[in-house]
């Protein structure tokens, strides 16, 4: 267990230093961050590491409030703070044996070359075990601490959604479901549902192409995954391709395409001519890998989508999907580190980038064509306000988004719930 603990500590420190959790986790699996030279971790060990690291960032503010009650003075050592946060999460939220968590944390001080902190770490964790109910209640009696978000984030949502902001925040702290998109070029949804059942994997239908698993599984367990029968994609993201409604023969632009899930879905639904653009070659490699696995083809272009003179051939597109860069505030349950890496000033910067992309790509759309603007954000400045400003500046644009069955939809804003991530869609038609 000590290797799990130490690796989780290393990940937490890197994220607190400004790196994304998904990036450092992938790097750790390759490089063995935090491990001794002789240590080898199993798949279940890495699952435990991921659970702890993600759990710490889901509950970071709460865990820090718990820790503050157990200290006589603030900690000034980042390594020991990370170790205590990891250990407190293990004690509160996992099935790890308490004595093993405490003993390993004390031993971890030696491995971290912080031997002088052994007594403090032991005392803090044993005090938590003795006073557990008291300190958990003390940390949870303030909404902001219990919900575990920065104050500015809570304030934005309170203003935008005064009647349901707490529900939104709580949904962002839940574990996300694992949702599949069936490649209906190769197999029907119902046939794949039966295939899952035959392999001991329970699921339920959620849309024409979506199945939600009762419990997440490794992709290696999904029958036919390597043969392109199925992809992992959130239910809300699966609404994009049907909303764009690109028929056979359509010329389609997928802007900001990586990692390629929506691009692939477009190609699964119709025989369309897709140009997929992203501004990073390594991200385009992920798009190509996705298409290859699903036996699909698209034209891939590495460019700044807003710099149309660099890449556009002058032939208008019938459909455009703009999956715009955003704060990702609607998918924090999948990426809880976002809550702590984002800053309030990021919203304005991203909104400016989104406006630039919208205006540039609009000129490449044919008369009568449709552009679907999408973000995985729940902040109005990136969504409703962005589209309102665009419509005011472009009298040839008309809002044409249809209702999405079974979704709590606030003018294109889908709020997170047990099935859905937070997303925004605006379908704009050129008149």
Which are the catalytic amino acids?
376
Number of Cβ within 10 Å of residue 178's Cβ equals: 17
d(CA 231, CA 224): 10
Q: Read off the tokens for 185.
A: 């070029």
Q: What is the 3-state secondary structure (H, E, C) of 180-224?
A: EEECCCCCCHHHHHHHHHHCCCCEEECCCCEEEECCCCCHHHCCC
Per the DSSP assignment, residues forming a β-bridge with 204 are: 212
Q: What token pair was written down for 42? A: 């199993």
CB atoms within 10 A of CB 326: 26
Q: Return the H-helix or E-strand segment holding 255.
A: strand 251-255
- Site of tokens 């197999």: 187
Residue in 19, 377, 26 with CA at minimum distance from that of residue 7: 26
Nearest to 88 by CA among 120, 129, 119, 50: 129
Cα pseudo-dihedral 413, 414, 416, 418, rounded to 10:
170
Residue 321 has which token pair? 């999907």
**Nearest of 29, 25, 100, 99 to residue 56 by alpha carbon:** 25
| Of 64, 61, 47, residue with least CA distance to 8 | 47
Residue position matching structure tokens 């064509």: 369
User: Please, are residues 310 and 303 in contact by the beta-carbon 8 Å criterion?
Assistant: yes
**Distance (Å, whole) CA 149 – CA 338:** 10
Token duo for residue 17: 């230093």
Find out whether 242 and 269 touch, Cβ atoms under 8 Å.
yes
């Amino acid at each position: 267990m000590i290797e799990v603990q130490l690796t989780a500590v290393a990940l937490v420190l890197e994220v607190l230093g400004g790196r994304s959790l998904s990036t450092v986790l992938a790097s750790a699996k390759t490089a063995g961050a935090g491990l001794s030279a002789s240590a080898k971790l199993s798949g279940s060990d890495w699952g435990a590491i991921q659970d702890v690291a993600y759990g710490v960032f889901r509950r970071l503010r709460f865990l820090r409030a718990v820790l503050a009650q157990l200290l006589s003075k603030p900690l000034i050592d980042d390594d020991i703070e990370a170790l205590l946060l990891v250990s407190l999460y293990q004690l509160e939220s996992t099935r790890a044996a308490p004595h093993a968590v405490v003993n390993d944390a004390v031993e971890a001080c030696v491995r971290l070359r912080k031997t002088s902190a052994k007594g403090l770490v032991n005392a803090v964790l044993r005090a938590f075990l003795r006073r557990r109910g008291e300190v958990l209640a003390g940390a949870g009696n303030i909404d902001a601490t219990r919900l575990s978000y920065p104050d500015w984030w809570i304030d934005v949502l309170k203003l935008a959604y005064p009647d349901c902001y707490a529900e939104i925040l709580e949904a962002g702290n839940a574990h996300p479901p694992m949702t599949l998109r069936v490649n209906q070029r190769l197999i029907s949804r119902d046939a794949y549902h039966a295939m899952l059942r035959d392999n001991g994997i329970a699921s339920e239908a959620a849309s024409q192409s979506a199945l939600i698993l009762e419990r997440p599984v490794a992709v290696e367990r999904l029958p036919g995954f390597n043969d392109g029968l199925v992809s992992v994609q959130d239910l809300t993201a699966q609404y994009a391709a049907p909303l764009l409604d690109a028929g056979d023969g359509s010329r389609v632009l997928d802007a900001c395409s990586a990692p390629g899930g929506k691009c692939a879905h477009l190609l699964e639904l119709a025989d369309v001519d897709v140009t997929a653009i992203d501004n990073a070659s390594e991200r385009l490699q992920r798009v190509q890998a996705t298409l290859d696995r699903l036996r699909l083809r698209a034209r891939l272009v590495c460019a700044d989508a807003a710099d149309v003179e660099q890449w556009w051939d002058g032939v208008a597109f019938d459909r455009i999907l703009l999956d715009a860069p955003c704060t990702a505030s609607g998918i924090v349950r999948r990426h809880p580190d976002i809550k702590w890496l984002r800053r309030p000033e990021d919203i304005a910067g991203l909104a400016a980038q989104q406006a630039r992309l919208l205006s540039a790509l609009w000129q490449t759309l044919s008369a009568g064509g449709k552009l679907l603007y999408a973000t995985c954000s729940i902040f109005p400045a990136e969504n409703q306000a962005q589209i309102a400003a665009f419509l005011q500046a472009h009298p040839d644009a008309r809002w044409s988004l249809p209702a999405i069955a079974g979704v709590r939809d606030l003018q294109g804003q889908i709020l997170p719930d047990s099935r859905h991530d937070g997303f925004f869609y605006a379908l704009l038609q050129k008149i």
